[in-house]
Amino acid sequence: MNIELMALMLVLGSCVGVLAGLLGIGGGLVVVPSLLFLLPYANISSNIVMHLALATSLATIIVTSASSAFNHFKLGNVDFYVVKWLMPGVLIGGFLGSTIAEWIPSQYLPKVFGVIVFGLSIQMYRSIRIHSYRELPNAWITAIWGSGIGIISSLAGIGGGSLSVPFLNKHGIEMRKAVGCSAVCGFGIAISGMLGFILHGIHVEGLPKYSIGYVYLPALVAISSTSMLTTKFGAKLAVRLPSAVLKRVFSLFLMCVASTMMMQ
């Protein structure tokens, strides 16, 4: 890791923070493809670079989701009855996602990420408003849904808000509480997914210096430090700019990123 790469990761963290405050998204959608591009310049083998990108992205989400969850808790936006049903599934799913990522050949992981992101970008672009609501399923069904959310999120290195918020909102949880519960569950996904990547990577040869399993600490520190500082600027911009239009523009950008990743 040289000074130029560290500077680029500080800038990346700043962009992630602004986007998080502006659009309410997790940073993984930007962090993973950025690290996939930057880490090879730190002489990191292509065989492990995607695993490092996913694990490090999840580690950065721990910081941002914890902050978000705490703020939503103070505002009364966390329904612990919902969290109690969803959390076991997302914890299991987050760990399973890291295990599946270990099974998938490294050359196919970017394609898997691209497919997931392409689906999320279409969902963001359509911005479907839900008019029909259903009751939240029983504990077992909700846990199964949580497992699916956790697996997909861990495989993409994201916190899962793009999946959990629509799921909760569709089942009658008002938007602000859906976002608050999603932040808490995103913290769980990031923790379990990161731990899975650490355990699976702890004995892998060729890992860069200053890494714990697949988590690359220099990138984690650089991205987290600046993203925490710039989130408030994104939140201020969100008041002035049309968020619906911005989300559509960002979704088009994600489609381009997803297409590029699928062609890797």
Per-residue pLDDT, 113? 87
Per-residue pLDDT, 24? 59
Gap between the Cα atoms of 254 and 261, Å rounded: 10
Per-residue pLDDT, 193? 94
Per-residue pLDDT, 92? 95
**Residue 70 and residue 186 in contact, taking contact as beta carbons nearer than 8 Å:** no
Residue 46: CB atoms within 10 Å:
12
**Residue 160 and residue 152 in contact, taking contact as beta carbons nearer than 8 Å:** yes
Q: How many domains does the chain have?
A: 1
pTM of the predicted model as reported, rounded to 2 decimal places: 0.87
Per-residue pLDDT, 132? 54
Per-residue pLDDT, 25? 66
Gap between the Cα atoms of 163 and 191, Å rounded: 17
The H or E element spanning position 235 is: helix 217-240
Per-residue pLDDT, 239? 63
Domain containing 44 equals: 3-262
Mean pLDDT of the chain: 84
Per-residue pLDDT, 57? 93
User: What is the 3-state secondary structure of 124-143?
Assistant: HHHCCCCCCCCCCCCHHHHH
Which residue ranges in the chain fall short of pLDDT 70? Answer: 1, 21-26, 126-134, 235, 238-239, 241, 243-244, 246-247, 264
Each residue of 187-200: pLDDT tens digit?
A: 899 999 999 999 99
Per-residue pLDDT, 135? 74
The H or E element spanning position 83 is: helix 80-103
Residue with the two structure tokens 């992205």: 57
Give me the phi and psi of 249, to 5 degrees please.
Answer: -65, -45
Per-residue pLDDT, 178? 81
Q: Which amino acid is at 187?
A: F
Helix (H, G, I), strand (E, B) or coil at 39: helix
User: Between vectors from CA 15 to CA 90 and to CA 39, what angle results, nearest 5°?
Assistant: 75
**Residue 237 and residue 18 in contact, taking contact as beta carbons nearer than 8 Å:** yes
In angstroms and rounded to an integer, the radius of gyration of the C-alpha atoms of the chain is: 17
Per-residue pLDDT, 200? 93
Gap between the Cα atoms of 15 and 34, Å rounded: 11
Per-residue pLDDT, 118? 87
Per-residue pLDDT, 2? 81
Gap between the Cα atoms of 183 and 190, Å rounded: 10
Sign of CA dihedral 20, 24, 28, 29: negative
